[in-house]
Structure 1
Amino acid sequence: EAPLEGSDARFLHRFEVDPADLGSLKGLGSEEFRDVQVIVFHKWDTTREWLSTVQAEAGSFTTHGSQMKSWNPMNRDCLYYLENYSGALDAPGEWFLDRSGWLYYRPLQGEDMATAEVISARLPCLMEFQGEVDSPERWVRHIQFEGLTFRHTEFRIPAEGLRPAQAAMSVEASAILADGVEGIQLLGCAVEHIGTSGLWFRKACRNVRVEKTRIFDVGIGGVRIGETGLVPEAVRTGFVTIDNCIIHSGGRIMPAAVGVWIGHSADNAITHCDVADFYYTAVSVGWRWGYDNSGAKRNRIEHNHLHHLGYRVLSDMGGVYTLGPSEGTRVCHNVIHDVFSTRYGGWGLYPDEGSTGILFENNLVYDVQDGCFHQHYGRENVVRNNIFAFSRQGQIAVTRAEEHLSFTFERNLVYWDSGTLLGYPGWGNGAKVEMGNNLYWRAGGAAFDFNGKSWDEWRSDGRDSGSLIADPLFVDPEARDFRLRTGSPAAEIGFVPFDSSAAGVYGDAAWRALAESTQFPEPYAVENAR
């Protein structure tokens, strides 16, 4: 990276790659290669920039973009791909529009172009509410939309590209955008085939309800609630309910986007939703790194089915991700599975920097990368009565040790067949975690330790009073049936069984079948991932 001559804000980025990767660029004219975009995956971010120069045989190209962040730059370990040129048109379902107006398309198997419907979106936004944010008496109120379908918006990549930003919050475009509203309802609607985000209840939105609505095939995020900045409480978005919704297949233009994002906003409920097929996090709550004041309080993330995330193209993600002081927030009765990262951080429950005062209870988390539960750093969270199973690496992880109580871990069932029980360096650095009345079992009764300590040594330090090492007697863990058989020792630790089948959407059979109809690919195979 080097400053771009004549600009204080733009930088030159030089990439060196295997020349074979650039073989499809050979033969492009100077104008054609300037239409090519590179998309780079770096940890939890993505960067999208236009090519400026190419030396295909030498395996190098340059772009112009914003200055890289020191804590998350593009580097040699990043995945990337190139698009928007004719040589990339190599798979069914792909299309390319050249500057002369010719549209090239490779049909899907069985698709008849004589009868195919082809839609080119023109509008970036389909519906916008604009009440006067600072004058509640002039807010837009009490409008109900029922049974409507909102489809097809366009999102064009700007000339400066798309700079990296967590959760893709650098782009504000949404198909439905609301500021200064109260009592708005979307019931039984659909928001589909969207180049932008689906819904954003942004500034001064209160008592909004979205119910039994499908948000599908979106370029950025599914639903956004609140703002990235902390505004006065009188005009702060809150009391938004997203219930019984299907939110699938997002991040198609900005892969770092999330299914549901809550910023500085309180008293919201995300309940009985099915959120899946995103390259990053399903539900993100809070927008404060550290312990300073946060507006994200008393949010409820309950009875959701959150699954098929990451696909090994990004890192540092969770089924539920939290940030900052969040007193009164409840993350309960969710089912989370199939969360896989590229390098690290495919977690089920992920309280990140400063997460405080959150209850994680009655969740089922299984088949994740490196921790069913991972706390980076936080204060006085409670992790109670959960089932954690089959993380590929450490089952329960903590990164940073702090002087205060990080979290309480009690009445949980932990079951695994690979990796360690305890992951990340916080355990060895003295993280303060109150542990008791838990049950641990490695499949087949295989031996394991507690961060290098035997069971007796671990308990001699005052940890895990009332806990057991015993087979919980799940009905069929290999088939991911985590119901308890009669005689399970889980009762001895005070574990209270819960019905995980209640997570996700509810109602008529057709609606539930629609949630199950999305096809999920296998996670990508990444060579030399570190």
Structure 2
Amino acid sequence: MMNILVKHRNIYRLIAFFLMWILASPLSFSAEFYVSPAGQNSNPGTKKAPFATLSKALNAVKAEFHHSPDQDCTIWVDQGTYRISEPIRLRSAEFHNQKGALTIAALPGTAPVISGGVEVPKWRRTSDGLWKADLSKLFPKHSEFRELFIDDRRAIRARYPNEGFLRVAKVGADRRTNFFFEAGDFPIPASVEQTELILLHDWSISRIRVQDIDLSLKKLTTVDSIGARQPAFFNLDNWEPNPRYFLENDLEFLDADDEWYYDKIENVLYIQLPTEQNPNDHNITIPVSHGLLDLSGSMEQPLKNIRFEGLTFKHAAWIIPDRGYGGVQACHFDPRFTKAESKDLLPPTKGWAVVPAAIKGDWTENNSFTNCHFKNLGGSGLWFGTGSTNNTISNCTFEDISGNGIMIGEGRDRTVNGQPWWQEAPEQVAKGNKITNNTIRKCGQQFFGAVGIWCGLTAETTIRENEISDLPYTGISIGWMWSPVPTPCRDNTLENNHIHHIMQQLSDGGGIYMLGLQPGSKILHNRIHDVNLNVGRAESNGLFLDEGTTDVVVANNLIYEIAKSPLRFHRATTNIVRENQFFCKENIRPIRYNTTREGDIIKIDNQVFVVGEPAYQKQLSEAIEQWEARRKEKN
């Protein structure tokens, strides 16, 4: 009997202890909401009665956080396409979560799409075999759009020539706004005022409307400067006496399958497809929403603990200024905005303008995108900007994007109290952000000077184990100061990235391009190859450490199949280069020094192999195998 009483007493003590532990512990709740194309916003947002839109679900989450800021919330998104005409806005002033996190995730086994596009209906065939659609029910006349997508592939804005480039015969007297061509170089456009010139500089491009084509003089004139107005080296013939160009957007150029032309005066869209295809059997989409997600916090109250999982983001629009796009570098460009246009400009027009991203976050903290897809986008992809800390982008794909793929931090132009932010308020630097295990390809589809990953003046940024490929320009660009002047840029790590088949259109870049003083920064164990096209005046490289690069360690990188030097310094200062493997073509130096003192570069135990040596191919194969094995072991 006593044993039974003791046993019961022990049980009661355990129950009492458990109840006391519960009462003493902070309670953790979780609220779940569901969204489905088959739902209704008048529903309660349950699994059986879901909402129809993400905006409605977000409003429900705001209400939950208002009452219980420490609870977690989840929005489950069902299979389907969710079309928006303006960005979904998440603002910290409306989210009162403290410890609570919000997860916006695809339901298991689904792949929902957030689309900023509209489908084009009712195509009919013309007498010359093209297809046309009247857009008067979608857009007013004189509308602008720059992309068209057939199912998941980017259609080609009608261009001449279809492949390759034309060459300027002679640059005009002002070297900026006009040039001469040879007779027969291109078909004369039917609508000159809608035609766009695309001219390639060394590391950037211009996109600018044609003002006039004088057939008697064989002279083409544009509406503004071809190339950025400043610096002065953007003169048309600075890099090449006969620079490359092509023309876009005229019915005369519409002569190949998957090409399209929009006549904004008639408000009619034309497309050419293979003979057996009917556009009415395809999803043909025009992006209309200028951005898809706007994540906005403040210095006092950052937007935090928002997680996106398993979602696809497609069809964001961005229209270049009416006076044209004069690229400077990495989707920064010469600002030429009217007052109406400048409302969408980031940053303000005081400095260089920037091609905006479909998903943009400022003053964000501990947010993440995991297993998401970003594709068919008109501007850039995803940008964690000013004051963004400890955000993560992992296991995502970025593909078919007009501008940069991923952007972190900001450049030099923003001011605080009338002074450059990086001098007046360096604590506002984007810090501790991570980009890991993503696939980034086919960026720069419209703005060839784009890069796969761009980081401005950032601190403690980690870029690790990403595959970056098929780019017209550079793979990763980090730093944004063309001198060793101190900034908050420091302790950035680029490690175990596989970068290949880049620099396919432009020059003077590389697999990794770095700028400025970055104490504590490291470029480690990256594999870079197939940088074989070099056009313009300057060469391209595996690693290019440009002006002011200082206090950087370059170690254990594998670089091969590079047309020029695997590593180049230009106006750099003291850096360490150790234990790298440089595979060089004949008569190519492994390291090139442009206005850099060779003695300032400390070189330790680097291996150099040259094409033609007896064991070259065997050594390269072994090096690749070792790199792959090391990466698998780390994963």
Letter in 2 for 1:307: H
**Which string of whole-angstrom CA distances, capped at 9 and with x for unpartnered residues, describes residues 33-78 of structure 1?**
0111111111112111111110246432001324353223222332
Is 1:357 matched up with 2:551? Answer: yes
Quickly say closer, same or farther: Cα 1:109–1:314, change in 2 above 3 A.
Answer: farther
TM-score of the superposed pair, with normalisation by structure 1: 0.75
Is 1:74 matched up with 2:244? Answer: no
Is 1:269 matched up with 2:456? Answer: no
Partners of 2:500 and 2:511 within 8 A in 1: yes
What SS is found at the alignment partner of 1:192? strand
Letter in 2 for 1:370: K
CA distance in 2, matches of 1:475, 1:260: 31
Aligned with residue 174 of structure 1, among 341, 346, 357:
357
Quickly say closer, same or farther: Cα 1:13–1:114, change in 2 above 3 A.
Answer: same
Aligned with residue 593 of structure 2, among 377, 381, 399:
399
CA distance in 1, matches of 2:233, 2:403: 23
Partners of 2:584 and 2:590 within 8 A in 1: no
Gaps of 5+ in 1: 5-10, 418-441, 445-472, 485-496, 508-530
Q: Which is greater in Rg?
A: 2
Counterpart of 1:127?
A: 293
Quickly say closer, same or farther: Cα 1:128–1:109, change in 2 above 3 A.
Answer: farther
CA distance in 2, matches of 1:95, 1:253: 15
Q: Per-residue deviation at 1:252?
A: 1.3
TM-score of the superposed pair, with normalisation by structure 2: 0.63
CA distance in 2, matches of 1:395, 1:189: 41
What SS is found at the alignment partner of 1:358? strand
CA RMSD of aligned residues (A): 2.5
Aligned with residue 218 of structure 1, among 401, 407, 426:
401
Letter in 1 for 2:312: T
Is 1:139 matched up with 2:331? Answer: no
Quickly say closer, same or farther: Cα 1:506–1:128, change in 2 above 3 A.
Answer: farther
Is 1:314 matched up with 2:493? Answer: no
What SS is found at the alignment partner of 2:594? coil
CA distance in 2, matches of 1:51, 1:505: 55
Q: Per-residue deviation at 1:18?
A: 2.2
Counterpart of 2:446?
A: 253
Q: Per-residue deviation at 1:475?
A: 6.0
Counterpart of 1:95?
A: 260
**Which string of whole-angstrom CA distances, capped at 9 and with x for unpartnered residues, describes residues 157-195 of structure 1?**
220110121111232411000001100011110111000
**Which string of whole-angstrom CA distances, capped at 9 and with x for unpartnered residues, describes residues 479-524 of structure 1?**
x51439xxxxxxxxxxxx95245559997xxxxxxxxxxxxxxxxx
Counterpart of 2:621?
A: 481
CA distance in 2, matches of 1:257, 1:385: 30
What SS is found at the alignment partner of 2:427? helix
Partners of 2:315 and 2:377 within 8 A in 1: yes
Aligned with residue 329 of structure 1, among 521, 536, 546:
521
Partners of 1:369 and 1:392 within 8 A in 2: no
Is 1:60 matched up with 2:219? Answer: yes
CA distance in 1, matches of 2:597, 2:617: 41
Letter in 1 for 2:303: V
Partners of 1:364 and 1:500 within 8 A in 2: no
Paired residues, number: 426
Quickly say closer, same or farther: Cα 1:91–1:69, change in 2 above 3 A.
Answer: farther
Letter in 1 for 2:249: N
What SS is found at the alignment partner of 1:287? coil
Gaps of 5+ in 2: 1-170, 334-353, 413-420
What SS is found at the alignment partner of 1:206? coil
Counterpart of 2:22?
A: none
Letter in 2 for 1:102: V
**Which string of whole-angstrom CA distances, capped at 9 and with x for unpartnered residues, describes residues 342-384 of structure 1?**
1332200111011011111111111112110111121221111
CA distance in 2, matches of 1:272, 1:195: 26
CA distance in 1, matches of 2:304, 2:213: 54
CA distance in 2, matches of 1:285, 1:110: 47
**Which string of whole-angstrom CA distances, capped at 9 and with x for unpartnered residues, describes residues 181-237 of structure 1?**
100011110111000000111111000001101111101100111110253232211
**Which string of whole-angstrom CA distances, capped at 9 and with x for unpartnered residues, describes residues 411-469 of structure 1?**
2221223xxxxxxxxxxxxxxxxxxxxxxxx524xxxxxxxxxxxxxxxxxxxxxxxxx
Quickly say closer, same or farther: Cα 1:141–1:413, change in 2 above 3 A.
Answer: same
Letter in 2 for 1:152: H
Which stretch of the first structure deviates more once superposed, 89-98 or 110-119?
Answer: 110-119
Quickly say closer, same or farther: Cα 1:173–1:403, change in 2 above 3 A.
Answer: closer
Is 1:384 matched up with 2:578? Answer: yes
Which stretch of the first structure deviates more once superposed, 376-385 or 12-21?
Answer: 12-21
Quickly say closer, same or farther: Cα 1:506–1:13, change in 2 above 3 A.
Answer: farther
Counterpart of 1:13?
A: 177
Letter in 1 for 2:460: D
Counterpart of 1:200?
A: 383
Quickly say closer, same or farther: Cα 1:406–1:366, change in 2 above 3 A.
Answer: same
Is 1:153 matched up with 2:316? Answer: yes
